[in-house]
Structures are given as structure tokens and as C-alpha cells.
Amino acid sequence: MEKKAIHFGGGNIGRGFVAEFLHTAGYEVVFVDVMDKIIDALQSTKSYQVTEVSDEGESTKTITNYRAINSKTHEADVIQEISTAEVVTCAVGPNILKFIAPVIAKGIDARTDPTPLAVIACENAIGATDTLHGFIKDNTAADRLNSMSERARFANSAIDRIVPAQAADAGLNVRIEKFYEWAVESGPFGERGPPKIDAIHWVGNLEPYIERKLFTVNTGHATAAYYGYQAGKKTIAEALRDESIRGIVRDVLQETAALIVDKHEISATEQQEYVETIIARISNHYLEDSVERVGRAPVRKLSRKERFIGPAAQLAERGGKFDSLLGSVEMALRFQNVEGDDESVELAQILKENSPADAAVRLTGLDRDHPLFPHVVKVVDGVQSDAKQDNRASDGYRIELSPHGIWRIPGYGAMEKWLLFFSCMT
Ligand SMILES: NC(=O)c1ccc[n+]([C@@H]2O[C@H](COP(=O)([O-])OP(=O)(O)OC[C@H]3O[C@@H](n4cnc5c(N)ncnc54)[C@H](O)[C@@H]3O)[C@@H](O)[C@H]2O)c1
Ligand SMILES: O=P(O)(O)OC[C@@H](O)[C@@H](O)[C@H](O)[C@H](O)CO
């Protein structure tokens, strides 16, 4: 019988990465999504194309052998498919895991196959599969919990491939970078071993892989996005062509490199090479990756285990340097009321309604006695003070040099951008 994988989230990484590699590994892929447009397109086509773009040119693969189900309207079908599949993956965003858990729990509960289902969440988050597992347990009857490992095994993953938002007329086709890395824990599969998916690098200990990825690729990416946004840049590549932003990204990645080298068995030379590869990857101008996509969901990105506070907190605990990371935190806090980004509106509201310390707790989840906490409160205070000044700004303008060497008139987004441009030119 043909191998079957169920993939939640037919978006960019779902179609351009996970489904591509499941397809190559010989799986029929059943996409599950809630967006009618994506489901309709997947149901009415027999193939789509994944095109890798790089300096070496373009290379296209055709993905076939898939079906699609809308879980909003056909939950029973999804349960039935999960009950007879080998693998369940997802790439829906870390905040959506709680919504897909109930249907996965029902599908797992309905299984009779002696081989447990392999569940792998492919999100940019530390322990995303553990988080999903927790929600699945919450949706499983108490008397079925002890035997759940006979029906499903849960493995965390680190997934790396840049898939920007696609052109409006692209349909299902996806343009992506050539580079990819997919590391998944092997331990949860025990003696039976993991499923055979060649693109996956199975590892005993995922922590070095996920921390190195999140605290280099995503920390650098988000830093370029937030500084780039303030400077009026459209894409990450454009932001990184600006020497001052490129320098800031390098400074931030020096700090996270110190943590990674100190904590994991990764040499300084190896990490430096990795940093250079990442800067080259995120500078790829063929991808046209917008600063808004990479900066999306700032509340999530400012949270405790995420790309800025995660490494800065660990560096503070170890007596390391973290001021460049604080600069990225400041720029993330300034990513407010961005069109189409609900979290950027929520961020503005949180900053408006809370004291600096309360806002810092709410956004970062840091304990008040953590060594990083007073530094974050100071940054929050600065951003809030600027917002208050802006409200009074009709009386006149205040021009200041930010700690990161950027001239700005706080609150005057567009003028900040011109001043940054001007300060970079002089
Ligand atoms: N794009 C990248 O470069 C990249 C790379 C590595 C990891 N990731 C991670 O992959 C995840 C998805 O990112 P993306 O860029 O593909 O986002 P995306 O917005 O393109 O795709 C998300 C998809 O999930 C679907 N979805 C939302 N709620 C759902 C639900 N309840 N059930 C089923 N589907 C649902 C959406 O309709 C959408 O199709 C994120 O965690 C992201 O951090 C992205
Ligand atoms: O997906 P996010 O919002 O966590 O982060 C945005 C980008 O940094 C991210 O999608 C990268 O493109 C990806 O992590 C590269 O592997």
C-alpha cells in the first residue's frame, strides 16, 4: 500500500519544503488547511512547481500525488486520513498549534495500525512538537493517555529554508532558496526507528541545531527586518545592502555566536562560517522577501524562548554581552500598527496600556528578578516615552541620535527613514 503523510498548512513552507520532501520520499501528501482558496486550488490541480532560485540560476521540481481537505468543513475526513497515515507534519505557525490539536487527537485515537504515527511539527519555535503534543493530550480522554505512545510518537524538529511570500499570480507554485536543513529528533521512535525520509537529518540531541538555527538565521533575519522597516527598506536584501544595517546584523550575530560556541560543541570557526553562510543566504536578492513578512508577529518574536530574548537571557545569565540584541528588541518594539499584522497592533496596545515593567513582563515573559529584566524595561521605557512625545509633537520636533547610531524624530516613521538614509550617507 502507498505511504501516506498528512500535512497541516498548505502555505509557503508547507508546499515549498515539507510537501516537496515528503513527495520525494514517496509519500502521497494530504494537505489540510482552512483557507478555501488554497484547498480549492490544491483540489483542482494535479501538480504544482517548486523553483529554487540562486546565483547559479533556477531549477524547478514538479510536485504531484497530493490531495487536499478543508478541516473547517470536513473534520471527519481528516480524522479518517490520520487514522491510516504514517506521518503527520504541520507548518501553520506556532500560535495555531492549539487549533489543529483536537482533530489530530481524534485521528490518533482512531488508529488501529500497529506502527505508531510519526508527528513532526515544522515551525520556527523551540519544542514545537512538544507544544503540539501537550495540546493533543489535553484533547484525549484520560484513560487513553497511557497507551498513546502505541499510536503516535512525537519528534521535535528544526527546519530551515527561506520561502518568501509568493507573487499574487503564482497560484500554487513556490519560489524558494536552494539551501535547506531539516533536523529531527530520532529518539522518540525507539528501536523501530524513524520513518524513511531522506531529506531529514535524524539527530539524538536537537538543542544545538534548533538554537543555532533560531538564534542565527532568525535572529539575523528579524534584526534586518526591523531595522530595515524603520529605514523604509522594502526587502531583506535591500536592508542588508545598507552597510549600517549589515553591520548591526553582524554585531547581533557576534553576540549569539558567543552563546552558541559557549553552550554547544560548535567551534568559533565553524560558527563564524555558519554566520557568513546565513548572511549570504538572507541577502539573496532573487527571493524578494519583504521586511513585513520577516518581521511578522512581533509579539511572538519578543517572547521568552524566541530569537531575541531567548539568547539575550542566556547571555545575561552567563555574564555575556547582549547590547546589540537589545537594539533588535527596541526595533521590534517599534514595529507597531503595520498593515495586515494583528500582533503589531496588539503590541502598540500593550505598550500604551502598561507600565514599562508590566509591558516587559507581558511581552517577554521574563521574571522580574532575571538579570536581563532591568535592561529590557529600560528599552521598553524608551520606546513608550517616544510614543508619548510623539503625541505631543504638534508643538515641535525632537531630533535625537539613537543608541544604534540612527538619527530620528521619534514617532515620525517616514522622517525616521529619511534620517536613517541621510545618516548612512554621511
Ligand atoms: N516561510 C519560511 O521561510 C519558513 C521557513 C521555516 C519555517 N517556517 C515556519 O513555518 C510555519 C508556516 O510559515 P509559512 O511561511 O508557510 O506561513 P503561511 O502563512 O504561508 O502558511 C501557513 C498556512 O497555515 C494555514 N492554516 C492556518 N490555520 C490553520 C488551521 N487551523 N488548520 C490548517 N491550516 C491552517 C494557513 O491557511 C496557511 O496556508 C511558521 O511556523 C514559520 O515560522 C517558515
Ligand atoms: O516564520 P517566522 O515568522 O518565525 O520568521 C520569519 C523568517 O525569519 C522565517 O520564516 C525564515 O524565512 C525561515 O525561518 C528560514 O528558515
ipTM: 0.98
d(C-alpha 104, C-alpha 344), whole Å: 30
CA 14 to ligand 1 centroid distance, Å: 7
For residue 166, the one-letter residue type is Q
Taking the CA of residue 161 as reference, the ligand 2 atom at the shortest distance is 16
Buried b (16+ CB within 10 A) or exposed e, 27-50: bbbbbbbbeeebbeebeeeeebeb
Give per-10-residue mean pLDDT for the chain (426 aa): 93 96 97 97 97 90 98 98 98 98 98 96 97 98 98 98 92 94 97 95 97 98 98 98 98 98 96 97 91 98 98 98 98 98 98 98 98 98 90 56 53 47 49
d(C-alpha 144, C-alpha 21), whole Å: 32
Instruction: Please report which ligand is nearest the Cα atom of 294.
Output: 2
Taking the CA of residue 307 as reference, the ligand 2 atom at the shortest distance is 4
Residue of minimum CA distance from atom 16 in ligand 2: 160
- What pLDDT is stored for residue 417 in this prediction? 46
Active-site position among 3, 4, 137, 213: 213
CA 8 to ligand 1 centroid distance, Å: 9
Pocket test for ligand 1, best of 71, 77, 92, 288 (most atoms within 8 A of CB): 92
d(C-alpha 102, C-alpha 244), whole Å: 47
Whether ligand 2 lies within 6 angstroms of the CB of 219 is answered as no
Whether ligand 2 lies within 6 angstroms of the CB of 417 is answered as no
Residue of minimum CA distance from atom 5 in ligand 2: 294
C-alpha distances out from residue 100 to 10, 36, 86, 156, 345, Å: 13, 16, 18, 17, 25
Whether ligand 2 lies within 6 angstroms of the CB of 210 is answered as no
Whether ligand 2 lies within 6 angstroms of the CB of 128 is answered as no
Residue of minimum CA distance from atom 4 in ligand 2: 124
- What pLDDT is stored for residue 390 in this prediction? 77
**Binding-site residues, ligand 1, Cβ < 6 A:** 8-14, 32-35, 38, 71, 91-94, 96, 99-100, 123-124, 159, 161-163
DSSP string, 290-349: BHHHHH--HHHHTSTTSTTHHHHHHHHHTT---HHHHHHHHHHHT--S-TT-HHHHHHHH
C-alpha distances out from residue 10 to 33, 139, 156, 174, Å: 6, 24, 20, 11
Whether ligand 2 lies within 6 angstroms of the CB of 296 is answered as yes
CA 162 to ligand 2 centroid distance, Å: 7
CA 202 to ligand 2 centroid distance, Å: 21
CA 31 to ligand 2 centroid distance, Å: 21
- What pLDDT is stored for residue 415 in this prediction? 45
The C-alpha cell 473534520 sits at 75
Cβ(97)–Cβ(131) under 8 Å?
Answer: yes
Rounded to two decimals, what is the model's pTM? 0.91
- What pLDDT is stored for residue 54 in this prediction? 84
DSSP symbol at 241: H
- Does 213 participate in catalysis according to the annotation? yes
- What pLDDT is stored for residue 401 in this prediction? 55
d(C-alpha 287, C-alpha 162), whole Å: 8
CA 340 to ligand 1 centroid distance, Å: 15
Residue of minimum CA distance from atom 11 in ligand 2: 162
CA 371 to ligand 1 centroid distance, Å: 34
d(C-alpha 17, C-alpha 402), whole Å: 40
- What pLDDT is stored for residue 2 in this prediction? 84
- What pLDDT is stored for residue 411 in this prediction? 47
Instruction: Please report which ligand is nearest the Cα atom of 306.
Output: 2
Q: Single out the residue of 184, 170, 139 nearest to residue 22, CA to CA.
A: 184
Taking the CA of residue 13 as reference, the ligand 2 atom at the shortest distance is 10
- What pLDDT is stored for residue 426 in this prediction? 44
